[in-house]
Chain A
Amino acid sequence: MSQDTKTEAKKYPTPQGNPESQPFWDAAKDGKFMIKRCKACGEAHYFPRSICPLCFSDDTVWEESAGEGEIYTFSLMRKSATGPYAIGWVTLKEGPSLQTNFVDCDLKALKIGQKVKVVFKPTDGAPLPFFTPV
């Protein structure tokens, strides 16, 4: 579990935000993990855009995600300036997949298909979403 300590100690970049994404970061401050859903085609997507990347409708709305999903793929980066880390893609229950790091866990025990849930980690601004095994 020595990787955990290093992951915890890591300083993450502060999200810059912009007018389009600000509601996401505001919600993150309240511990809510938001995705976008398109009312025209019904599909959810991530990262959030004002115009749906699937049907190009501008009728998109914010939706709180359950923050649950499973590991689509991952890789354990054995060395870096801030120690080992596990990067991967998670497929959310709502459908879209997103890039993330896996934290608060034994990085060597990760598996494709494993159930994970969102956890927020602090930055100097809004917190950032990460995932950890359920």
Chain B
Amino acid sequence: MSIKGKAYIAGIYEHPTRHAPDKSLAQLHAEVAKGALDDAGLTHADVDGYFCAGDSPGLWSMVDYMGLKPRHVDSTETGGCSYIIHLGHAAQAIAAGKCSVALITLAGKPRTSVMPPRGFGAEMDFELAYGATTHNAYAMCAMRHMHDYGTTSEQLAWIKVAASHHAQYNEHAMLRDVVTVEDVLNSPMISDPLHRMDCCVVSDGGGALIVTTAEIAKSLKKPLVRLIGHGEAMKGPRGGKDLELTYSAGVWSGPRAFEEAGITPKDIKYASIYDSFTITVLMQLEDIGFCKKGEGGKFVADGNLISGVGKLPFNTDGGGLCSNHPVNRGGMTKILEAVRQLRGEAHPKVQVPNCDLAIAHGTGGLLGVRHAASTAILERV
């Protein structure tokens, strides 16, 4: 059994805010839910499936706050890629008849209030003291990638440069100035070898999706966008024997999604790739098959990710590096921009012509420690 073509993304919404001191967390979740339902042309009474992750005030709380009556719920928590996983799980539930209108929300305010500390499991006593943060955990991957493959800071910088070229057209983006490779290299070193401009922004905000059946999607007014392939995977050091930090769990989630979709990376017209850091993009592009392992540096250089310039337009909203990174989780916004591209609703300056196949891929957790990955392949019908 496959979920290929069984579920359609009928509604999308990205909160325009990047700083929301005047709003509550539950309110932000409800606002993005309302935005996505309005976009789809549905109401909250139509929702019979609800999906949220660790950024929400809680499944019980949000279901009650929004007055939902779901017959299917899922609170899978895999950090920033939770929402890409939710999309796949929503498709499974829809294919199995467990729900027909699934709502997925993400929202939060890391700029306004302190984020709760990262959770630990059995590894706590053996890792807590060493101060792994997102910055240094991704930096450790970059350091080893450079060592093994000769990847350079200049090559990583091209990823930020490409994102900035796109962000200049996004009126909501936090950073709209076009930057150069030199700008990135001259920005302060945060955690070797990552500079400040190798890092994404911290923003309040959120986003939501409505996933539904073919029948309901066809009764609505939006262009038809459906999920044709999905993969998820997890990776950790496994007792210290599988510590290979130059690749992510994308090496498993990517091929699973492409196999289900029956296409290859060459068929993809637009790619949303989670960009918590520049190295995140480079490793994931290799892992899901856009280039060979170790050749990501060459692949991203010289504007190859810039829409209208390079071969693989990526993150045309400016991504996490320039536009926003609500709740320090980039998976939702990756899906949103992929849907805009497939609908032809991206900014005209970055819209990919005849965009009929797109990918949204992300990781969650700490790439240099333990993490999840998820891949969604979307098609305009």
Binding site for B on A (CB under 8 A): 12-13, 15-17, 21, 25, 43, 45-47, 49, 52-54, 72-80, 85, 87-89, 91-92, 95-101, 112, 123, 128
A76-B191 contact in complex given A52-B239, A89-B140, A112-B147, C-beta closer than 8 Å: yes
Residue on A with the closest CB to B141? A73
Residue pair B126, A47 in contact (C-beta under 8 Å):
yes
Q: What residues of chain B lie closer than 8 Å to A89, measured between beta carbons?
A: 140, 237, 243, 245, 368
Residue pair B241, A78 in contact (C-beta under 8 Å):
no
Determine how close the nearest CB of chain A comes to the CB of B134; give it in whole angstroms. Answer: 11
Q: Which of B332-373 contact A (CB under 8 A)?
A: 368-369
Q: What residues of chain A lie closer than 8 Å to B126, measured between beta carbons?
A: 21, 46-47, 98-99
Residue pair A54, B144 in contact (C-beta under 8 Å):
no
Q: CA separation between A49 and B125, bound complex, in Å? A: 13
Q: CA separation between A106 and B276, bound complex, in Å? A: 29
- 20 sample A-B contacts, Cβ–Cβ < 8 Å, listed by A number: A12-B129, A45-B238, A45-B240, A47-B127, A47-B240, A73-B143, A77-B133, A77-B135, A77-B190, A78-B189, A78-B190, A87-B130, A87-B136, A88-B140, A89-B140, A91-B243, A96-B239, A98-B126, A99-B126, A101-B129
Q: CA separation between A80 and B136, bound complex, in Å? A: 11
Question: Which A-B residue pairs are the 10 nearest by beta carbons?
Answer: A45-B239, A96-B240, A75-B139, A47-B126, A53-B239, A97-B243, A73-B144, A15-B125, A97-B240, A75-B136
- Among A46, A75, A78, A128, point to the contact of B239 (Cβ < 8 A): A46
Q: What residues of chain A lie closer than 8 Å to B132, measured between beta carbons?
A: 87, 99
Number of A-B contacts (CB under 8 A): 114
Q: What residues of chain A lie closer than 8 Å to B136, measured between beta carbons?
A: 75, 77, 87
Instruction: Give the residue among B144, B188, B190, B240 with the most A Cβ atoms within 10 A.
Output: B240
Residue pair B143, A54 in contact (C-beta under 8 Å):
no
Residue pair A75, B240 in contact (C-beta under 8 Å):
no
Q: CA separation between A45 and B311, bound complex, in Å? A: 43
Q: Which of B117-131 contact A (CB under 8 A)?
A: 122-131
Task: Decide yes or no whether B192 CB sits under 8 A from chain A.
Answer: yes
Residue pair A99, B241 in contact (C-beta under 8 Å):
no
Q: What residues of chain B lie closer than 8 Å to A76, measured between beta carbons?
A: 191-192
Q: What residues of chain A lie closer than 8 Å to B241, measured between beta carbons?
A: 43, 45, 53-54, 95-97
Determine how close the nearest CB of chain A comes to the CB of B76; give it in whole angstroms. Answer: 22
Q: What residues of chain B lie closer than 8 Å to A12, measured between beta carbons?
A: 129
Q: CA separation between A72 and B241, bound complex, in Å? A: 12
Determine how close the nearest CB of chain B comes to the CB of A21; give it in whole angstroms. Answer: 6
Q: CA separation between A88 and B135, bound complex, in Å? A: 13
Residue on B with the closest CB to A15? B125
- Among A13, A15, A46, A101, point to the contact of B240 (Cβ < 8 A): A46
A13-B239 contact in complex given A75-B192, A78-B189, A112-B147, C-beta closer than 8 Å: no
